[in-house]
Chain A
Amino acid sequence: MKKITRILSGFCAAALMTSSLAGCQTKNASSDVKTSGKEIPTLTVWTIGNQPKNLDEGLAAMNDYTAKKIGVKINLKVAGWGDWETKMNQIINTSEYFDFMFSDNTKYAQQVSQGALAEITDEDLKAVPGLTKLIPEDVWSGAKIKGKLYAIPAYKDSAQTEYWIWDEAIVKKYHIDTKNAITLKQLDPILREIKKGEGAKNKNFYPFIVDFDGVKGMLMNYDDMTLGLPTIGVRVDDPERKVVSVLEQPEVMEDLSILHSWMEDGIMNKDAAICTELPRYRTVFSTQAYPGLEKSFAINMDISDGNTVMEKMAGPVYTNSTIQGSLQVISKQSKYKAECLKYLELLNTDRTLRDMWSYGKEGVNFNYVDKEKGVVKRVIGMDWGLPGYAQGTSATRSVDEGVPTDQWEQIKKLNEAAEKSVILGFTFDREPVRNEVQNVRAVWDKYKNNVKTGAKDPHEIVPQVIQEMKAAGMDKIIAEAQKQIDEQFKK
């Protein structure tokens, strides 16, 4: 008996000690905020990228500028690309304090359903006319969840447009009609001819090279409902808004079969499923782009003397995922919601601040070549490391030297011409099927490289993948998604 009381009292003492410790710590933290909050509030901000060498210096310049302009400072923290997901999960799960952070289609819906984000009401938006004027209605609606807004989307190349990029020399040599070489089926005879011609000299020549991700843009006609699971989606132009199993669609199956035959016949690189690094030069490849980039691609491909030919492959398409590719979300706990919005307004409308975020400190990380038009040259070896796309619009941002100065006009044209996904504005609430989504994703992760690159015969592997996904609960996800879509679009 005596022993037990002694042990118990020991526990009590320990508990008391920790709780008293906790008490004094939280007090400290809150008083900190108060003292700094009196005059100029400092917002805690998370972004993504590689931490710049001179982050402190660049940040000081930013803070000087914004303190004068709107009376707000920030403490900028950078999460590495790969760490970002885990770190942000921890911050959200443990309600660690932050004011605003970068989010994207893979995390946004989840953060909203966890109740971590502050809703941005129409009232709030009235205070920031710069943002409402800049960002068009479609983009706002793509950032909404169940009709409510929790994020400021970055208005950039929000519509996805994929292009085929050809080496011009090859196009001329083989008299390729690039306009009629859009689908894989149309490409098939052309690539076989190139292989015959070029492959005669070098048997290791592959006219078509992809990495483990497969052909970029192949599945882009399906809106993945921000699930990040390309096997379930709604065709962007399907008026019925039917949720389907993407891999089982005949046209997808056909593309995969063609890829597999290319792999078999040496048209495509054999190591595609495990290839993480693409060679600089490729005869033809697909990528996201906008008109006018021919010469830049040629330089990237190491054929500076030559040129490239660009042909639109698919798009432009607005889906929720493409719009949610870059968002700034405000924490529910933030004491400075209005200041956050004001800061984001300035970031999206003021070129000086916009350039500081994406290029660093003037004179150290970059120099203006033409301040009027907004052309910058980065200082070699002083890479700022923070990607512009994750911060805000590209409308106000200067461009790198060599990039067409009318970049934004071109992008804007594509955005305005973009076809809207039939379910734009719908974000799948995955809470009811959370486990199923996780399980199906695990199955997909296991097979995706072999499927997307055609490394295995699709007639064998696809049924197997589908079967495993069904066992993992794919049908339930489809049914739930269909139910939610029907509910939202019934009216």
Chain B
Amino acid sequence: MTTKVTYQSGLEKFNRIKPGTNVLFNFIFLILAIMCVVPVLFVLMISLTSEKALENGYQFIPKEFSFEAYKFLAQQGHLIFPALGISVFVTVVGTVIGVILTTTLGYVLSRREYKLNKLLTWMVFIPMVFNGGMVSSYYINTNLLHLKDSVWALILPIAVSSFNVIICRTYFRTTIPDSVIESAKIDGASELRIYFRIVLPLSLPVLATIGLFLCFGYWNDWFQSMLYIDNQRMYSLQALLNMTMQNVEYLSKNRAFMGVEAAQLVANLPKEGSRMAIAILIILPIACAYPFFQKYFISGLTVGSVKE
């Protein structure tokens, strides 16, 4: 009984926030959380509303529940499941490749004794500020590297970004003490061994950060699909959703010049509910990925490893 640490005792007492501030902070975060969750809930509810009820406007609690939208998705399974498969593959493989490439490059750039350090850092830094534009990268990727119409076109062009490399470089430079690496060197470890056995295990937070960035980047990416994939059967899920949304826009914009057929084409478009159902399908897996990364955000791993 006596060992129980109460709220008022010990260190806690000093690090505590004022109750008033506490309430205020909770309130602010509550509002922020609501702002994030409500739209998602709304999308979910729209996807569950029947088409008839939708005609009278959106409602939080639908007058008529229906799974029409999800049935429609199931019917479109030949489109959606391959796209989902491609999205998952690209996200998983892309994140792994991306993390390996980004952190190794970042690590090399963080070593002061590396000769080309300055030059390479500039080469990484400059494209972060000015990029070559869409036409040139498209030209390189299609005509020189022949990446068109392959799953690698979705992975490689966005695997390494300058921004992520700079984050890694800064992290390795500031949080991994030189003395730790030096000590390993004295013990006879090779460069690779140092990297894999000493540096990486100490860098879980930055790995998780980069992994999370890449994972979201890959999952949310539709532009690569649109640019580099000619066969619509190889589109990722996001590209499929984007295409569906854009169809509505195109058909209404150019309706006047398309002739009578336009009305028929519009009638065949997926309805609002179905589009929302695709959105839900996209949100779910990535929402599950987030907690997985979160547990690696631990700080202070290297605190106390070196006594200067």
Please list the residues of chain A having a beta carbon within 8 angstroms of any beta carbon in chain B.
3, 7, 18, 21-22, 25, 50-51, 53, 77-87, 90, 93-94, 96, 104-106, 156-158, 160, 204, 211-213, 216-217, 220, 271, 276-277, 279, 287-290, 293, 300, 321-322, 324-326, 381, 383, 387-390, 394, 411
Task: Determine if B261 and A90 form an interchain contact, defined as CB atoms under 8 angstroms apart.
Answer: no
Q: Is the interface of A mostly helix, strand, loop or mixed?
A: loop
Task: Determine if A80 and B256 form an interchain contact, defined as CB atoms under 8 angstroms apart.
Answer: no
Task: Determine if B257 and A322 form an interchain contact, defined as CB atoms under 8 angstroms apart.
Answer: yes
Task: Determine if B257 and A325 form an interchain contact, defined as CB atoms under 8 angstroms apart.
Answer: yes
Known interface pairs A93-B135, A277-B54. Does A82 touch B249 (Cβ–Cβ under 8 Å)? Answer: yes
Question: Could you tell me the distance between the alpha carbons of A25 and B57 in the complex, rounded to whole angstroms?
Answer: 56
Q: Which chain A residues border B56 with CB–CB below 8 Å?
A: 204
Question: Could you tell me the distance between the alpha carbons of A325 and B227 in the complex, rounded to whole angstroms?
Answer: 24
Q: Which chain A residues border B286 with CB–CB below 8 Å?
A: none
Known interface pairs A87-B227, A90-B134. Does A105 touch B116 (Cβ–Cβ under 8 Å)? Answer: no
Task: Determine if A383 and B268 form an interchain contact, defined as CB atoms under 8 angstroms apart.
Answer: yes
Partner of B243, one of A81, A276, A277: A81
CB distance from A75 to the nearest CB of B (A): 10
Question: Could you tell me the distance between the alpha carbons of A160 and B226 in the complex, rounded to whole angstroms?
Answer: 32
Task: Determine if B143 and A94 form an interchain contact, defined as CB atoms under 8 angstroms apart.
Answer: yes
Q: Which chain B residues border A213 with CB–CB below 8 Å?
A: 252-253, 255
Question: Could you tell me the distance between the alpha carbons of A216 and B230 in the complex, rounded to whole angstroms?
Answer: 33
Question: Could you tell me the distance between the alpha carbons of A144 and B94 in the complex, rounded to whole angstroms?
Answer: 48
Nearest CB in chain A to that of B116: its residue:
A7
Task: Determine if A288 and B256 form an interchain contact, defined as CB atoms under 8 angstroms apart.
Answer: yes
CB distance from B37 to the nearest CB of A (A): 22
Task: Determine if B243 and A157 form an interchain contact, defined as CB atoms under 8 angstroms apart.
Answer: no
Question: Could you tell me the distance between the alpha carbons of A321 and B257 in the complex, rounded to whole angstroms?
Answer: 7
Question: Could you tell me the distance between the alpha carbons of A86 and B230 in the complex, rounded to whole angstroms?
Answer: 12
Question: Could you tell me the distance between the alpha carbons of A289 and B230 in the complex, rounded to whole angstroms?
Answer: 34
CB distance from A276 to the nearest CB of B (A): 6
Task: Determine if B227 and A86 form an interchain contact, defined as CB atoms under 8 angstroms apart.
Answer: yes
Nearest CB in chain B to that of A82: its residue:
B246
Question: Could you tell me the distance between the alpha carbons of A84 and B247 in the complex, rounded to whole angstroms?
Answer: 10
Task: Determine if A94 and B135 form an interchain contact, defined as CB atoms under 8 angstroms apart.
Answer: yes
Q: Which chain A residues border B139 with CB–CB below 8 Å?
A: 94
Q: Which chain A residues border B261 with CB–CB below 8 Å?
A: 387-389
Which interface residue of A85, A106, A288 has the most chain B CB atoms within 10 A? A288
Task: Determine if B146 and A276 form an interchain contact, defined as CB atoms under 8 angstroms apart.
Answer: no
Nearest CB in chain B to that of A211: its residue:
B252
Within 8 A of A (CB), among B231-281: 231-233, 242-263, 265, 267-268, 271-272
Task: Determine if A81 and B247 form an interchain contact, defined as CB atoms under 8 angstroms apart.
Answer: yes
Task: Determine if B251 and A216 form an interchain contact, defined as CB atoms under 8 angstroms apart.
Answer: no
Task: Determine if B258 and A80 form an interchain contact, defined as CB atoms under 8 angstroms apart.
Answer: no
Q: Which chain A residues border B253 with CB–CB below 8 Å?
A: 213
Question: Could you tell me the distance between the alpha carbons of A27 and B252 in the complex, rounded to whole angstroms?
Answer: 44
Task: Determine if A7 and B226 form an interchain contact, defined as CB atoms under 8 angstroms apart.
Answer: no
Task: Determine if B144 and A18 form an interchain contact, defined as CB atoms under 8 angstroms apart.
Answer: yes
Nearest CB in chain A to that of B273: its residue:
A277
Q: Which chain A residues border B54 with CB–CB below 8 Å?
A: 277
Known interface pairs A77-B230, A87-B226. Does A325 touch B250 (Cβ–Cβ under 8 Å)? Answer: no
Interface status of B216 (Cβ within 8 A of chain A): no
Partner of A271, one of B57, B142, B254, B259: B57
Q: Which chain B residues border A279 with CB–CB below 8 Å?
A: 55
Task: Determine if B254 and A325 form an interchain contact, defined as CB atoms under 8 angstroms apart.
Answer: yes
Task: Determine if A22 and B144 form an interchain contact, defined as CB atoms under 8 angstroms apart.
Answer: yes
Task: Determine if B144 and A21 form an interchain contact, defined as CB atoms under 8 angstroms apart.
Answer: yes
Interface status of B42 (Cβ within 8 A of chain A): no
Task: Determine if B232 and A82 form an interchain contact, defined as CB atoms under 8 angstroms apart.
Answer: no
Chain B 171-205, CB within 8 Å of chain A: the 1/0 string?
A: 00000000000000000000000000000000000
Nearest CB in chain B to that of A80: its residue:
B243
Known interface pairs A25-B146, A94-B139. Does A324 touch B255 (Cβ–Cβ under 8 Å)? Answer: no
27 A-B pairs with CB atoms under 8 Å apart are A3-B115, A50-B232, A50-B247, A51-B232, A51-B233, A80-B243, A80-B247, A81-B250, A82-B242, A82-B244, A87-B227, A90-B138, A94-B135, A94-B142, A157-B259, A204-B56, A213-B255, A271-B57, A276-B272, A279-B55, A321-B256, A321-B257, A324-B257, A325-B257, A381-B75, A383-B268, A389-B261
Q: Which chain A residues border B144 with CB–CB below 8 Å?
A: 18, 21-22, 25
Question: Could you tell me the distance between the alpha carbons of A160 and B55 in the complex, rounded to whole angstroms?
Answer: 29
CB distance from B232 to the nearest CB of A (A): 4
Nearest CB in chain A to that of B230: its residue:
A77
Nearest CB in chain B to that of A84: its residue:
B250
* Top 6 closest pairs, chain A to chain B, by CB: A82-B246, A325-B257, A51-B232, A157-B259, A81-B247, A80-B243
Known interface pairs A7-B116, A81-B247, A387-B265. Does A104 touch B55 (Cβ–Cβ under 8 Å)? Answer: no
Nearest CB in chain B to that of A21: its residue:
B144
Chain B 128-148, CB within 8 Å of chain A: the 1/0 string?
A: 000000110011001110100
CB distance from A79 to the nearest CB of B (A): 8
Partner of B263, one of A160, A277, A287: A287
Q: Which chain A residues border B55 with CB–CB below 8 Å?
A: 279
Question: Could you tell me the distance between the alpha carbons of A423 and B116 in the complex, rounded to whole angstroms?
Answer: 64
Q: Which chain B residues border A53 with CB–CB below 8 Å?
A: 78
Q: Which chain B residues border A21 with CB–CB below 8 Å?
A: 144
Interface status of B119 (Cβ within 8 A of chain A): yes
Q: Which chain A residues border B258 with CB–CB below 8 Å?
A: 325-326, 387, 389-390
Q: Which chain A residues border B138 with CB–CB below 8 Å?
A: 90, 93-94
Question: Could you tell me the distance between the alpha carbons of A82 and B135 in the complex, rounded to whole angstroms?
Answer: 19
CB distance from A84 to the nearest CB of B (A): 7
Task: Determine if A290 and B260 form an interchain contact, defined as CB atoms under 8 angstroms apart.
Answer: yes
Task: Determine if B256 and A160 form an interchain contact, defined as CB atoms under 8 angstroms apart.
Answer: yes
Task: Determine if A105 and B257 form an interchain contact, defined as CB atoms under 8 angstroms apart.
Answer: yes
Q: Which chain B residues border A85 with CB–CB below 8 Å?
A: 250
Q: Which chain A residues border B243 with CB–CB below 8 Å?
A: 80-83
Task: Determine if A289 and B256 form an interchain contact, defined as CB atoms under 8 angstroms apart.
Answer: no
Known interface pairs A81-B247, A90-B134. Does A7 touch B119 (Cβ–Cβ under 8 Å)? Answer: yes
CB distance from A73 to the nearest CB of B (A): 17
CB distance from A133 to the nearest CB of B (A): 21
Q: Which chain B residues border A276 with CB–CB below 8 Å?
A: 248, 252, 272
Within 8 A of A (CB), among B189-229: 226-227
Known interface pairs A94-B139, A388-B261. Does A51 touch B231 (Cβ–Cβ under 8 Å)? Answer: yes
